[in-house]
Chain A
Amino acid sequence: MSDRQSSNAYWQANLKLIWLCMIIWAVVSYGFGIILRPVLAGISVGGTDLGFWFAQQGSILVFIVLIFFYAWRMNKLDAEHGVDE
Chain B
Amino acid sequence: MSQFTLNLIVIGASFALYIGIAIWTRAGSTAEFYAANRGVSPVMNGMATAADWMSAASFISMAGILAFGGYDTSAYLMGWTGGYVLLAMLLAPYLRKFGKFTVPEFIGDRFYSQTARIIGVICLLIISITYVIGQMTGVGVTFSRYLEVSSSTGLWIGAALVFVYAVLGGMKGITYTQVAQYVVLIIAYTIPAMFIALQLTGHVLPQTGLFGTHDASGLKFLAKLDQVVTDLGFRSYTGHHGSMLDMVLFTMALMIGTAGLPHVIIRFFTVPKVADARKSAGWALVFIALLYTVAPAVGSMSRFNLTATMWPGAETGETFSQPAVSLSDIETREDLHWMRNWQLTGLLNWEDKNGDGLIQYYSEAGAATNEPLAAVIAEQGLQGNELTTVNNDIMVLANPEIANLPAWVIAIVAAGGLAAALSTAAGLLLAISGAVSHDLIKGAINPGISEKGELLAARISMGVSILVATILGLNPPGFAAQTVALAFGLAASSIFPVLMMGIFSTRMNKEGAIAGMLAGVIATLVYIFTYKGWFFISGTNMLPDTADAWLLGISPASFGTVGALINFVVAYLVAQATKEPPAEVRELVESIRVPRGAGAAQAH
Contact = CB atoms under 8 A, between A and B. Distances in A.
B489 to A, nearest CB: 19
A7 B586 CA distance: 14
Interface string B231-246: 0000000101000100
A69 B307 CA distance: 42
Contact of B590 (A7, A34, A66, A75): A7
A54 to B, nearest CB: 9
Contacts of B71: 52, 55-56
A47 B278 contact: no
A57 B289 CA distance: 9
B219 interface: yes
A61 B251 CA distance: 17
B85 A66 contact: yes
B84 A56 contact: no
B282 A29 contact: no
B251 A34 contact: yes
A75 to B, nearest CB: 6
A74 B597 CA distance: 16
Contacts of A21: 85, 89
A43 to B, nearest CB: 13
B599 interface: yes
Q: Chain B: interface secondary structure?
A: helix
Interface in A26-52: 29-30, 33-35, 37, 45-49, 52
Contacts of A53: 211
Nearest to B88: A67
B593 interface: yes
Interface residues of B, number: 51
Contacts of B251: 29-30, 34
A57 B296 contact: yes
Interface string A46-85: 1111001101110111011011101100110010001111
Contacts of A14: 593
Contacts of B74: 33-34, 52, 55-56
A49 B238 CA distance: 9
Nearest to A44: B220
Interface in B73-117: 74, 77-78, 81-82, 84-85, 88-90, 93
B593 A7 contact: yes
A60 B211 contact: no
A85 B78 contact: no
B248 interface: yes
Indicate the size class of the contact surface on chain A: 35 or more
B184 interface: no
B275 interface: yes
Contacts of A4: 590
Contacts of A22: 85, 89
B59 interface: no
Contact of B78 (A29, A66, A78): A29
Contacts of A78: 275, 595-596
A50 B88 CA distance: 27
Contact of A84 (B93, B222, B238, B275): B275
B281 interface: yes
B292 A60 contact: yes
A82 B596 CA distance: 8
Interface in B220-275: 220-224, 226, 238, 240, 244, 247-248, 251-252, 273-275
A20 to B, nearest CB: 10
Contacts of B224: 47
A25 B82 contact: yes
The 4 closest A-B pairs by CB, nearest first: A46-B211, A47-B220, A47-B222, A55-B74
Given A47-B220, A60-B81, A68-B279, 7 more contacts: A7-B594, A18-B89, A30-B252, A47-B238, A52-B71, A59-B78, A84-B595
20 contacts: A7-B593, A21-B85, A22-B85, A25-B82, A34-B247, A46-B220, A46-B222, A47-B221, A49-B238, A55-B74, A56-B77, A67-B285, A68-B279, A68-B282, A71-B275, A71-B279, A75-B275, A78-B595, A84-B595, A85-B597
Interface of B: 71, 74, 77-78, 81-82, 84-85, 88-90, 93, 207, 210-212, 219-224, 226, 238, 240, 244, 247-248, 251-252, 273-275, 278-279, 281-282, 285-286, 289, 292-293, 296, 590, 593-599
